[in-house]
Amino acid sequence: MGEMALMIEASMKQAGIKVNLNMTDLQTWLDKGTSHHFDMIMGSWNSSALPEDYAQLWATSSWKENGLNFSGFGNEKTDAIIDSLAVTMDETARLGMEKRIQAAIYNEYPYVFLYGLVRRTAIHKRFSGAELYGERPGVLYNMFQLNSIGVKTSVTP
C-alpha cells in the first residue's frame, strides 16, 4: 500500500496538488476513518462469497454512528435498498436490488476504486454442480459431479 500511496503522491504533484502522506498503524487508520478526521484516506476492502452486507460500508447510519461508511455515502433511497437486501432471500429479487445499490454507488462515486479481482476459471463440460467464488481457491471441488454422458470406463481383470 505504501508504494501505491507514493505513486499517487507523485501523480498529484504533477497536477499541482501537494499531498502530505501520513502512514499509520491499523488502529489509528480506523480511528481517523470512523471519526471522519481525514482529507483523503486509502485502504482496501475485500469480501467473501457470502451475500454482501451493504450496511457496513454504505448505510447512512454507518456514517452517523462512526462506522465504516467513511465517505458519508447514502440517502433514504439507498438505505431502503440496503434494508430490503438484509431480509430478502429470493435470489432474483436480490440481484435486482444489488444492481440498484451498485448503480447508486457508481453514480455517486464515493470511492476511487483502483482495481478488483479478475480471475478466470474453466471447468470441463463433463462436470456439473460447480460453484465459483471470489476467494481462493475459487471453487469448491467437493461440489463437482462427474457427468456420465460420454465417460468411458474400462475394467481390466
Distance CA 53, CA 42 (A): 21
Residues 135 and 102 in one domain: no
pLDDT one-digit tens code per residue, 67-101:
999 999 999 999 999 999 999 999 999 999 999 99
Residues 21 and 78 both lie in one domain? no
CA distances from 106 to 50, 102, 113 (A): 22, 6, 10
Higher pLDDT, 141 or 153: 141
For Cα atoms 15, 20, 23, give the angle at the middle one, nearest 5 degrees: 130
Structure confidence at residue 153 (pLDDT): 54
**Which of 87, 88, 46, 55 lies closest to 73, judged by CA?**
55
Full residue range of the structural domain in which residue 21 is found? 1-43
The C-alpha cell 460500508 sits at 57
* Whether residue 107 sits in one domain with residue 55: yes
**pLDDT exceeds 90 at position 44:** no
Do 51 and 110 fall within a single domain? yes
Q: What is the pTM of this model?
A: 0.70
73 near 89, Cβ under 8 Å? no
